[in-house]
Structure 1
Amino acid sequence: MKKLLIVLLSMGSLFALTFKDVADTKHIFFYAGDIVSRQNFYKKFIGLSLSRSNAKHIKHDITKPFPLRDNCVDMFQAEDVFEHIEYQVLPSVINEIYRILKPGGYARISIPDYQCDVLYTRCKKNSFGDIVFDPGGGGAYQDGRVIKGGHVWFPMIGNVKNLVNMTEFAKKGRIVFYHYYDEKGQSVTKSIDYSKGFVKRTPDHDKRVSNPYRAMSLVFDLFKD
């Protein structure tokens, strides 16, 4: 089955991958979104795409349940995805990821940290200085709300900790934060092992925050023990 999956992944758009094709493979690595750039970093991953259906992507909305058994996925990565999903929906999304991960598996999550000066400066704020729209995140701002796929909430360490603490990872797993701004607005940048999941928007790979060296994204791993 593993050799078959490798062949399918090399066939490009000639084959439309489904969950049935991967359900019985020994190792499964999922990437939430389209794998269209930096493919060398994601060779072993299967993309979960809202629009693409080919040998590298399964068409799937991650806010919906996965048609997979429990404990079958080695690793799940979501890079700049969760900020496009309504905050109140995310606990169920994360719990579904927990369900399909194998014991010892993990999810690598990276989302923009809006305490970063680069991100905060470009955003539209209300009269209290609160962010209401990030034009760099796509979409549009109309009648007091974000539409057309933009960022629908603005991650910072406080609301992200509250989010993950509502999930099974807080009850039965481990949560390890690497990059973020703390409650005092100070950048925290612990070493990241990128071999376990490449992240583009960090000071290691994004010149906008390389000098001075500071966090741009909240980067954390969710481990299923």
Structure 2
Amino acid sequence: MVADGLPEDPYLYFGNLGKTEPQYKIPNFVGLCLVPRSEREIKHDLNDPLPVPDNSIKKIQAQDVMEHIPKDRVPSLLDEVYRVLVPGGIFRLSVPDYRSPLLKARTVFDHKGNVLADLMMGAKVEYDTKNAAYKTVFMTDGSAHLWFPTYEHVLDLILRSEIRKSSKITFHHYWLDDETSVTNSFPENEMFVFRCPPRDLRAGGKAISIIVDFIK
């Protein structure tokens, strides 16, 4: 089923497409979100199939959205992205990189170094006396980061999805390990990414987000 309100040649933007977003100035872009706030948005739950036919979309962008979706659901959404892209179409994914010192400063870790919660993004940690272990409590309004991306996490999700069949997959920004930040230049291609240098220099020019382009 094709959603009503799509332009003739739509580009998909996952999440709210606010008027302050550069993509809002590009008439092809339509936001897919749970709570539409403007005429450029369509109500859609990203846990459901995308409301467009196979091989029909030239550009898709997911900016700071995937980390709000349960991690085990992400491969299915990537399958959908691959399904609807035209051959040669592009998908740009950006998620926060939890190897960035900027993000580490606001997170809680367990004794093995695993991230338990991002305290700025809808989560807190409590001690479960019954099980003698910490537990993470997430806000249920959609604001919480439900998983904490690293290069390895994102690569694993790609390999579990049909999107691994893309003709080209390019990681532009990411932390390879705790010491190595990669920030290669990439074309904007109408898909502006806000949380990355040189626009965002809170990390001194080092990576803040994992930014990946997929060409079908």
Q: Structure 1 residues 135, 153: closer, same or farther in 2, change over 3 A?
A: same
* Structure 2 runs not aligned, ≥5 long: 129-134
Matched residue, 1:176 = 170
Could you tell me which residue of structure 1 aligns to residue 208 of structure 2? 216
1:72 aligns with: 56
Q: Is the 8 A contact 1:30 1:75 kept in 2?
A: yes
> Which residue of 54, 59, 63 corresponds with 2:47?
63
> What is the rounded CA distance, in whole Å, between the counterparts of 1:166 and 1:172 in structure 2?
13
1:159 alignment partner, one of 132, 145, 153:
153
Displacement, 1:201?
0.6
Q: CA deviation at 1:58?
A: 0.1
- The aligned runs of 1:65-144 (5 Å cut-off) are 65-141=49-125, 144=135
Question: SS where residue 104 of structure 1 aligns?
Answer: strand
Per the TM alignment, residue 133 of structure 1 is displaced from its structure 2 partner at its CA by 0.4
Partner of 1:145: 136
Unaligned runs of 5+ in 1: 1-17
1:215 offset after TM fit, Å? 0.4
Aligned-pair distance for 1:53? 5.7
Aligned pairs, how many? 203
Contact 1:169–1:175 (8 Å) recurs in 2: no
C-alpha distance in structure 2 between counterparts of 1:195 and 1:184, whole Å: 30
1:96 Cα offset (Å): 0.5
Give how far 1:206 is off: 1.2
> Structure 2 vs 1, CA of residues 105 and 155 (structure 1 numbering), >3 Å: closer, same or farther?
same
> Matches of 2:111 and 2:80 in 1, distance apart?
38
Deviation at 1:111, TM superposition (A): 0.2
Q: Larger % of helix: which? A: 1
Deviates more, 1:136-145 or 1:200-209: 136-145
Q: TM-score, normalised by structure 1?
A: 0.83
Once residues 77 and 172 of structure 1 are traced to their aligned partners in structure 2, the CA distance between those partners, rounded to angstroms, is: 15
Contact 2:166 2:214 in 1 (8 A): no
Deviations 1:98-153 (A, max 9, x none): 11111111111100000000001110111222210002223444561342231111
- 1:77 is displaced (CA, Å) by 0.5
RMSD over aligned CA atoms reads 1.9
Deviations 1:17-63 (A, max 9, x none): x813327x2x2111111122533333221111111164210000111
Structure 1 residues 59 and 53 mapped into 2: Cα distance closer, same or farther (>3 Å)? Answer: farther
Q: Report the AA paired with residue 215 of structure 1.
A: A
Which structure is richer in relative contact order (CA contacts within 8 A, separation 6 or more)?
A: 2
